[in-house]
Chain A
Amino acid sequence: MKNALGREIPEYIEGYGVVRPFMGAFANYGMRERASVRLRSVKPGEQKLLATIDEALDKVGIKDGMTVSFHHHLRNGDYVLNLVMAAIAKRGIKDIHVAATGIFPIHEPLVEYIKQGIVTGISVNYISPGPVAKAITKGLLKNPAVMMSHGGRPRAIESGDLHIDVAFIASPEADAYGNINGVGGKAACGTLSYIIADSIYADKVVAVTDSLAPYPACPIDITQDFVDYVVVVDSIGDPGGIVSGTTKVTSDPVGLRIAKTAAQVIDATGYIKNELSFQTGAGGTSLAVAAEVRKIMKAKGVVGSFGAGGVTGYIVDMLNDGLFRNIFDVQCFDLKAVASYRDNPRHQAMSGSLYGNPHDKGAIVNNLDVMILGATEIDLDFNVNVVTGSDGTIMGASGGHNDTAAGAKLAMVVTNLTKGRLPVVKDKVTTVTTPGETIDVLVTERGIAVNPRRQDLLEKLKETDLPVKSIEELKEISEKMTGKPEPIEFTEKIVAVVEYRDGTVIDVVRQPK
């Protein structure tokens, strides 16, 4: 069958189940129910502190076929997923579904577990290019991987679509009765937002910490009433690994030029004014946009209501400069953000659900004015791909991409028109992550394209001398430089299912030939 974007998707996918096809970004709202939770209540006098991960595996009754979950706030410095999976693998347990909020190169041991059938399923909302992404692309995983968004994952958990048997929470600091915080201890990572839904809805919750605090481990991010057991290990991770991947302002002159143009577009369309709410991704060009917006805000004396997102030191500086009154933080991208979250009450955490869940009573993305996004590819309908490279290799997952695009008043994609030799604007993207109906503007170094749905923006930009073009023109310009790419061939094997934030299937990733 074809979904609303014309993507060819089977009605049933082996290892995934019945497909609910994507119907449109705003087609799926209304009455909802939350899953009920099974828990074992704790009597006064009971202890939660366990000596080893093995003991925790005994207590939670780990067995074949279970779903275990992890968060990725320690990013490429996380040790907990590997520690737990090694202990599970040692027991000869098979058919584990790893529901990790994010997977990084450090999680390479998963590849061996995939080959051995110890891990047969993976659900993620973020994955960086690396060994696990490669293994999924090659079709080594028994069941297709499920790619979700940061808001879609808590939605899946809260609705019961994704049932977590055991959540293993990397806990920078915890006390013996299960209170957890992200700002103390040896590997402080800041907010623990992505694992909040797991802590509430998982059958069993295990805090894994390397810094046991005296009771109570304030300021608490996850409270004791949600936690079954506490395990102390030597190290939960390397805080140096938190600052990994794309979290620096670009020094590339093309990127800086794009950023400048992007800020001018935001200004010309009237969004840089008091009460502005703003979010950027952590890509180099996106962060450069923040720097440019900051200049304009300062010059105009504008005070914004909040900056949001994965938070970097740049957004923290804007808070401290008085350019924003508040920060909503779903993930600290560097140690400056961690310190700010710890010390500044105006720097507030938001759970993944509060951040982007489409099926709660209003996520914070709904309050965003401006969202700056990246793209691997964008097509003539403004659909964006951040999941696969143009050769079909898995490179990432939505993260908050399609959540924020749906919520923000101005969802802007900033990207080089060509990446090396690869054109970014395509007739059809290889994989759709974010539907074009939620993308408003594309800014490149060679021109700006406005989604024809946003005639209001187009009118405002026409009054400026900014280089407004149609997206077709941008595609022509880029193909003149790069030449027309030869089409990539795919097999019929589906290696990943891309869920839109509402749980419908927006696309699938087939194995490249």
Chain B
Amino acid sequence: MKITKAAQAGASESSDILIMVMPNEEGGIKLELDSKGVILKQFGKQIEKVIREKIEEMGVQDIVVKAKDKGALDYTIRARVQAAIERAI
């Protein structure tokens, strides 16, 4: 699947995550994750894994993802990633 434009989903609210996606001209998946240190230290890898798995599951190859996390749980992250990608198709 190819995304054609920039889009976002989610919010910068507590327990949510703001996902911004856009096409990646250079190809591949580029992921930037921002969250509080206390979360990054303990769950940073897990959050990245969940985002990458969702992207792969949707069959997107070339994408830039900027994620601003505010303590979202995995299912919220998956939903936000999916919504952002569907808006960007």
Find the residue from A390, A481, A486, A488 having the highest chain B CB count within 10 A.
A486
Provide the A464-493 mask, 1 if CB < 8 A to any CB of B, else 0: 000000000000000001110110100000
Pick the residue among A389, A481, A486 that contacts B73 (CB under 8 A). A481
B70 close to A486 (CB less than 8 A): no
Find the residue from B15, B43, B69, B72 having the highest chain A CB count within 10 A.
B43
Find the residue from B14, B41, B45, B73 having the highest chain A CB count within 10 A.
B41
Given A421-B72, A422-B71, A482-B73: A391 and B42 interface contact (C-beta under 8 Å): yes
Q: B15 contacts which chain A residues (CB < 8 A)?
A: 420-421
Within the complex, what minimum Cβ distance (angstroms) separates B36 from chain A? Answer: 8
B39 close to A488 (CB less than 8 A): no
Within the complex, what minimum Cβ distance (angstroms) separates A197 from chain B? Answer: 35
Interface hits, B31-62 → A, CB 8 Å: 37-39, 41-43, 45-46
Find the residue from B38, B45, B73 having the highest chain A CB count within 10 A.
B38
Find the residue from A421, A482, A485 having the highest chain B CB count within 10 A.
A421
B86 within 8 A of A: no
Q: Measured between alpha carbons, how far is A482 from B37 in the docked complex, in Å?
A: 16
Q: B73 contacts which chain A residues (CB < 8 A)?
A: 418, 421, 481-482
Pick the residue among A391, A393, A420, A486 that contacts B45 (CB under 8 A). A486
A391 close to B46 (CB less than 8 A): no
* B37 and chain A: residue at smallest CB distance: A391
Pick the residue among A418, A481, A483, A488 that contacts B41 (CB under 8 A). A488
Q: A422 contacts which chain B residues (CB < 8 A)?
A: 38-39, 42, 71
A391 close to B43 (CB less than 8 A): no
Within the complex, what minimum Cβ distance (angstroms) separates A465 from chain B? Answer: 28
A59 within 8 A of B: no
A420 close to B39 (CB less than 8 A): yes
A453 within 8 A of B: no
Q: Measured between alpha carbons, how far is A300 from B38 in the docked complex, in Å?
A: 45
Q: Measured between alpha carbons, how far is A482 from B75 in the docked complex, in Å?
A: 10
Within the complex, what minimum Cβ distance (angstroms) separates B51 from chain A? Answer: 14
B71 close to A483 (CB less than 8 A): no
* A418 and chain B: residue at smallest CB distance: B73
Pick the residue among B38, B69, B74 that contacts A389 (CB under 8 A). B38
Pick the residue among B37, B42, B69, B72 that contacts A486 (CB under 8 A). B42
Given A420-B15, A421-B72: A486 and B38 interface contact (C-beta under 8 Å): no
* A488 and chain B: residue at smallest CB distance: B41
A419 within 8 A of B: yes
A421 close to B71 (CB less than 8 A): yes
B14 close to A486 (CB less than 8 A): no
Q: How many residues of B contact A (CB 8 A)?
A: 16
Q: Measured between alpha carbons, how far is A420 from B17 in the docked complex, in Å?
A: 11
Pick the residue among B14, B38, B43, B70 that contacts A393 (CB under 8 A). B38
* B49 and chain A: residue at smallest CB distance: A483
Within the complex, what minimum Cβ distance (angstroms) separates A511 from chain B? Answer: 14
Q: A483 contacts which chain B residues (CB < 8 A)?
A: 43, 46, 74
Provide the A363-398 mask, 1 if CB < 8 A to any CB of B, else 0: 000000000000000000000000001110100000
* B74 and chain A: residue at smallest CB distance: A483
Q: Measured between alpha carbons, how far is A421 from B67 in the docked complex, in Å?
A: 15
Within the complex, what minimum Cβ distance (angstroms) separates A444 from chain B? Answer: 16
* B69 and chain A: residue at smallest CB distance: A421
Q: Measured between alpha carbons, how far is A418 from B39 in the docked complex, in Å?
A: 12
Q: Measured between alpha carbons, how far is A485 from B38 in the docked complex, in Å?
A: 10
Q: Measured between alpha carbons, how far is A422 from B73 in the docked complex, in Å?
A: 9
Given A390-B38, A483-B74: A420 and B14 interface contact (C-beta under 8 Å): yes
Q: Measured between alpha carbons, how far is A488 from B73 in the docked complex, in Å?
A: 20
Provide the B9-26 mask, 1 if CB < 8 A to any CB of A, else 0: 000001100000000000
Q: B74 contacts which chain A residues (CB < 8 A)?
A: 483
* A512 and chain B: residue at smallest CB distance: B41
Q: A419 contacts which chain B residues (CB < 8 A)?
A: 71
Given A421-B73, A422-B71, A481-B73: A488 and B14 interface contact (C-beta under 8 Å): no
Within the complex, what minimum Cβ distance (angstroms) separates A306 from chain B? Answer: 36
A390 close to B42 (CB less than 8 A): yes
Q: Measured between alpha carbons, how far is A255 from B71 in the docked complex, in Å?
A: 17
Q: B39 contacts which chain A residues (CB < 8 A)?
A: 420-422
Q: B38 contacts which chain A residues (CB < 8 A)?
A: 389-391, 393, 422
Within the complex, what minimum Cβ distance (angstroms) separates B14 from chain A? Answer: 6
Q: Measured between alpha carbons, how far is A390 from B71 in the docked complex, in Å?
A: 14
Q: A390 contacts which chain B residues (CB < 8 A)?
A: 38, 42
Within the complex, what minimum Cβ distance (angstroms) separates A387 from chain B? Answer: 14
Which residues of A approach B to under 8 Å, CB–CB? 389-391, 393, 418-422, 481-483, 485-486, 488
- Starting from the known contacts A391-B37, A420-B14, A422-B42, 12 additional A-B residue pairs (CB-CB under 8 Å) come to A420-B39, A420-B70, A420-B71, A420-B72, A421-B39, A421-B72, A421-B73, A422-B39, A482-B43, A485-B42, A486-B41, A488-B41
Q: Which 4 A-B pairs have the closest CB atoms?
A: A420-B71, A485-B42, A391-B38, A421-B71
**Pairs A–B under 8 Å by Cβ, sample size 6:** A391-B42, A418-B73, A422-B38, A422-B71, A486-B42, A488-B42
